[in-house]
Amino acid sequence: MFELPNLPFDKNALEPYMSRMTLDLHHGKHHLNYINTLNGLIERTRFADQSLPDIIKKTAGVPEQTALFNNAAQAWNHGFFWKCLTPLGGGALPDGAFKDAVRRDFDGEGNFKAKLAETALSQFGSGWAWVVADKGEIRLLKTANADTPVARGLKT
């Protein structure tokens, strides 16, 4: 069974950009609901002992598994999202392979950040903006609702 992960920061650490109330709603209510619903859906099924990525990959695009996919994917998406946030803000990319790939694939950090913002802002309705590795290249991807790069076998 899955559990709601702890936030890697205090609930007021992201203010003024994300309030404690927003975190309480998205972490303590939405994310928790995805986890609880997922656990109810997988109890005593072949999915009970599988990882979130495995459940996502096996249920993506299967109409009779839509509820399971949506809850597993949103549980994974939110868990990943919390790990991406930091009270210290963003700033420059750390030196290393990712920074080198960004320079190569986006002609610099400034272009990368602008394209990522453009990708996120162009998502109509609920969804996500992702930075993924695809065949050795860094790509930007947007997904609607519960869709996730995990379903496509892409690395985030």
Domain ranges of the chain: 20-84, 97-152
Same fold flag, 20-84 and 97-152:
no
Distance in angstroms (rounded) separating the CA atoms of residues 82 and 91: 17
Residue 25's pLDDT is what? 97
Does the domain at 20-84 match CATH 3.40.50.1820? Answer given as: no
Q: What is the pLDDT of residues 61-89, one digit of tens each?
A: 999 999 999 999 999 999 999 999 999 87
Asked if the 97-152 domain carries CATH number 3.55.40.20, the reply is yes
- Is the entire prediction scored with pTM above 0.75? yes
How many other C-beta atoms lie within 10 A of the C-beta of residue 21? 11
Question: Over the stretch 95-135, which tens digit does the pLDDT of each residue have?
Answer: 899 999 999 999 999 999 999 999 999 999 999 999 999 99
